[in-house]
Structure 1
Amino acid sequence: EEWLQKSKTKPNGKKPPAEEKKQYLEPEFTKIRVVDFDLKELVVLPREIDLNEWLASNTTTFFNLINLQYSTISEFCTGDTCQAMTAYNTIYYWYDERGKKTKCTAPQYVDFVMSLCQKLVTDEEIFPTKYGKEFPNSFESLVKKICRYLFHVLAHLYWAHFKETVALDLQGHLNTLYAHFIVFVREFNLVDPKETCIMDDLSEILCTPAPPPASTPAPSTPASAPSPSSQNHVTER
């Protein structure tokens, strides 16, 4: 898929806010999780389970949980508030089955994502539930497609709707879901790191088990903070 770096502004003409605006990176929020153990143990393929069965089961669960998490803020994600599907300096476009590129609002994009995922995970030919039924050859590529789209939804939740998530006191659920999802897709190489790099600063904090309270304050600026010039362009996906 193409990466285009055309516009230097967001769809509404404003430049992306500077790095310090990432409220979701503040320690008071990142320390809030629903569980406090190593998520890696949750995602490793159990010895007696078929890989495709494991991918199918986890992908379906993540689809349901991310759909549920989005539904908690969906009333705030409208065509007016989110005129494009954005996350940090990236605008996501929807590509239909014929590869036609469509610019749509965030709620339209999420609706496309959830409808496609629902269609795939409930299709017996793709996600078979009956014993002895084979998975199709295209199974892994479809799982990768679902996971890539679900990542876009998670990134948009953090970037556009973190304040509402905090207001609903659901940031612990979002953090835990995000960390579990990232550890899972990394374990099975399901999403290209080029796709997830826009959230690497958060991933590094959340995907390690929560540290014990530290006596030294955390540095205020992440070491990997983009240079000012990189904040002023918008990547189109």
Structure 2
Amino acid sequence: MSSRPVRLWYDMYSCWPFSVNQIYMRYRRPRKEKKPTTTVEEKKLFLEPQYTKSQVIDLDIRELVRLPKGLELNEWLVSNCLSFFNNINVLYGVVSEFCTNESCPIMIAPCNTQYFWYDDKGRKMKCTGPQYTDYVMSYIQMNIQDETVFPVKYGQVFPSNIESIMHKILRYLFHVLAHIYHSHFEQLVFFQLHAHLNCILVQLVLFSYEFNILDSKEFTVLEDLISELNIMPSSDSHKAAEAS
């Protein structure tokens, strides 16, 4: 008795002029064809020749970043770090009204690079452009005001980890520069400050290479601009600097 319903079910469908598979093929929902994805090439206004040739000074910046004779290394590193902080802070202040949570919902840089902030506990945080920049400037300001990190009195010594602090500060400042190039270069052109931006980038890159502060991978997002500005030292000279 238990096999009878099964046989009837089979006999009923076996008399159809087309198979169950044919029914499925006829009435199944057609698959949606995937539209070919096209990669939109990123427009980089800062690479246009009239902007890459803009300079503020005619001096060789390579000479400006080198350690002066008789000056202690850490003193030189800190003084230049303060200069980078002040200059980048001023330039960002010019475009800050254009850098909002709505216009810059993520901290983005060229090559679709997104920067994340890590808090004191190492937790990764997604930030808007102004939020990330505020974290950067607040972190640097906190270190500047800490005399155990940036001593200002005679006889005070720099902490043993001063180089790692310099690395972190310059890395954060470069992120802000990269964001300005990606999202706010047009505004700086309007205010005729793009040459100042290029000058700061050149100095930061050369300074970093001179004292081996940032790895070349840090500059990948702006490597095309760095190449156009002809500021990247040759591999041989860089190896010689590291050996010395």
TM-score w.r.t. length of structure 2: 0.76
Please say if residues 183 and 207 of structure 1, whose CA atoms lie closer than 8 Å, have aligned partners that are also in contact: no
Please say if residues 179 and 207 of structure 1, whose CA atoms lie closer than 8 Å, have aligned partners that are also in contact: no
1:32 — aligned with what?
54
1:159 — aligned with what?
182
1:131 — aligned with what?
154
Indicate whether 1:78 and 2:93 are aligned. no
**C-alpha separation in 2, matches of 1:56 and 1:16:** 43
Using the TM superposition, give the Cα deviation of residue 41 of structure 1 relative to its aligned residue in structure 2, in angstroms.
0.1
Do the aligned partners of residues 36 and 189 (structure 1) sit closer, same or farther apart at CA in structure 2, a change above 3 Å counting? Answer: same
- Write the deviation string for residues 89-108 of structure 1: whole angstroms up to 9, x where unpaired: 21100000110111010100
2:8 — aligned with what?
none
**C-alpha separation in 2, matches of 1:136 and 1:30:** 39
2:89 — aligned with what?
67
Please say if residues 206 and 231 of structure 2, whose CA atoms lie closer than 8 Å, have aligned partners that are also in contact: no
**C-alpha separation in 1, matches of 2:154 and 2:39:** 50
Partner of residue 116 from structure 2, selected from 72, 93, 104: 93
Q: Which structure carries more helix by proportion?
A: 2
Indicate whether 1:112 and 2:135 are aligned. yes
Indicate whether 1:170 and 2:170 are aligned. no
**C-alpha separation in 2, matches of 1:206 and 1:67:** 23
Partner of residue 186 from structure 1, selected from 188, 193, 209: 209
**C-alpha separation in 1, matches of 2:46 and 2:39:** 16
What amino acid maps onto 1:110 in structure 2? T
**C-alpha separation in 2, matches of 1:50 and 1:98:** 34
Do the aligned partners of residues 176 and 16 (structure 1) sit closer, same or farther apart at CA in structure 2, a change above 3 Å counting? Answer: farther
Indicate whether 1:56 and 2:78 are aligned. yes
Unaligned regions of 5+ residues in structure 1, if any? 1-14, 210-237
What secondary structure, in the 3-state scheme, does the structure 1 residue paired with 2:108 have?
strand
Please say if residues 38 and 208 of structure 1, whose CA atoms lie closer than 8 Å, have aligned partners that are also in contact: no
What amino acid maps onto 2:97 in structure 1? E
2:9 — aligned with what?
none
Deviates more, 1:98-107 or 1:197-206: 197-206
1:4 — aligned with what?
none
What secondary structure, in the 3-state scheme, does the structure 2 residue paired with 1:32 have?
coil
**C-alpha separation in 1, matches of 2:90 and 2:131:** 16
Instruction: Give aligned pairs, total.
Output: 195
TM-score w.r.t. length of structure 1: 0.79
Runs of 4+ deviating beyond 4 Å: none
**C-alpha separation in 1, matches of 2:39 and 2:104:** 14
What amino acid maps onto 2:139 in structure 1? L
Using the TM superposition, give the Cα deviation of residue 141 of structure 1 relative to its aligned residue in structure 2, in angstroms.
0.3
- How large is the Cα RMSD of the aligned pairs? 1.8
Among all aligned residue pairs of Structure 1 and Structure 2, give the percentage whose two residues are the same amino acid: 49
**Higher relative contact order, structure no. (Cα contacts within 8 Å, ≥ 6 residues apart):** 1
